[in-house]
Chain A
């Protein structure tokens, strides 16, 4: 690929953001800072949060909550998916419940968690798991069902142990869908977590956002929001790199869609 093509590709991927930033900066000239603060101020705040450990621990706390919740939902969802995939009865029983859960707003879980539980961290964990569990489970069932029966039976014909079957067949077959599920759910979880932190957390991005709201500090609100956005961008990039390595076996067509 020529370097001009790469440059133009980079240009087009950042162009929309540049335009958005320009519009914002333009607005900041005409409106008071509590409505449209200058981006210079915003990025100074972003930088302050990154270098000040006292503030950065709030970001880390939120990231930890996202990852813990996702991991919990992933493990529980994986278990449910295997059970549901194995028995149509279990599937018929649990599927509607998960669908029902999908319709419950994150804020409702916040209320339930506050009423049911005491510990702040456990409340947050509970909310994160309940809000991401249905999607994770459905995605993993989909992955298991899409697994090739022909390949599965081929491996089976060598009479592997359960663990061998999992390692040589099931895991590589479902990995693409699992990584996609993580990408999708990371985005969801990053949006839910700040709501979950309303259960009384005294730290974290959600707590900080609430503070900025009380101070009418738009620059601060943006700076804290960007921390989460950056986290999502970085983790998704990491997953994309894992995908590029793990799925190098894939054939690529010289023509695209």
Chain B
């Protein structure tokens, strides 16, 4: 089954002088959202991506997930080009979008099933997995609700369940925990981090919370505007509290620029 196959060893990501320009009225060269970014993410890493609003984080995600084509440079994921070899990534990438993007005509359960359904998982099996994910995310009893009947945080959890259910090797999460209360967010961060490590997935998550980055990131990358790496630091279990404080101050400094 493709879901099992999709759990193949985590995938690395390489960006080689990647630039993204958007067409802009009254400007020939367009609007530069991402400016010659060089970046390598190792397989199995959990990377936090920080940066001011509008600095190009979501744009980078869209290029890594194959939804946008870089204007210049090369993006490669596990040695493949996400944009031009789009179908190669079937079942290998899962995305938690910045907004929940639930299909309004599907119930919570059917939304979580979507990815599995598109991967051809049989009905019984995908229903069971989707149920399981919904209860892990605290949505028991809301399986058959339509999105309009769910709160913002509940919708976001459904979209997290939808992404995680496919068991993809690469997780791209755009502010996955931002619409949740602190308690729920904390619990989900722990679960997320355990899930990624247990299954040797590669995960990149965008966040505006320095705490969140420090809590679960193996590595923190801070971007300036337009997207360019301004600060890049690795953490591990040996990183002590004092060191973390120094990192926190440095991140604040970079973000304030």
Contacts and interface: CB of A to CB of B under 8 A. Distances in A.
Interface of A: 150-151, 153-160, 164, 168-169, 172, 247, 249-251
Interface of B: 65-67, 86-87, 89-91, 93, 95, 97, 99, 101, 103-106, 114-115, 117-119, 146-149, 166
B104 A168 contact: no
Nearest to B98: A150
Contact of A158 (B118, B146, B148): B118
8 contacts: A155-B103, A157-B93, A157-B95, A159-B87, A164-B118, A249-B105, A249-B147, A249-B148
A159 B117 contact: no
Given A168-B114, A168-B118, A251-B148, A158 B104 contact: no
B150 to A, nearest CB: 11
Nearest to B66: A157
Given A150-B97, A168-B103, A249-B104, A159 B148 contact: no
A159 B90 contact: yes
Contacts, number: 51
Classify the interface of chain A: helix, strand, loop or mixed: helix
Contacts of A160: 118
Nearest to B172: A157
Given A159-B86, A159-B87, A159-B90, A154 B101 contact: yes
Nearest to A252: B148
Contacts of A153: 67
Contacts of B89: 159
Given A160-B118, A168-B117, A168-B118, A151 B103 contact: yes
A83 to B, nearest CB: 22
A87 to B, nearest CB: 18
Given A169-B103, A172-B103, A249-B146, A154 B97 contact: yes
A112 to B, nearest CB: 42
A151 B65 CA distance: 15
A250 B118 contact: no
Given A157-B65, A159-B118, 20 more contacts: A150-B97, A150-B99, A151-B103, A154-B95, A155-B114, A156-B67, A157-B67, A157-B93, A158-B90, A158-B119, A158-B166, A159-B90, A172-B105, A249-B105, A249-B106, A249-B147, A249-B148, A250-B104, A250-B148, A251-B149
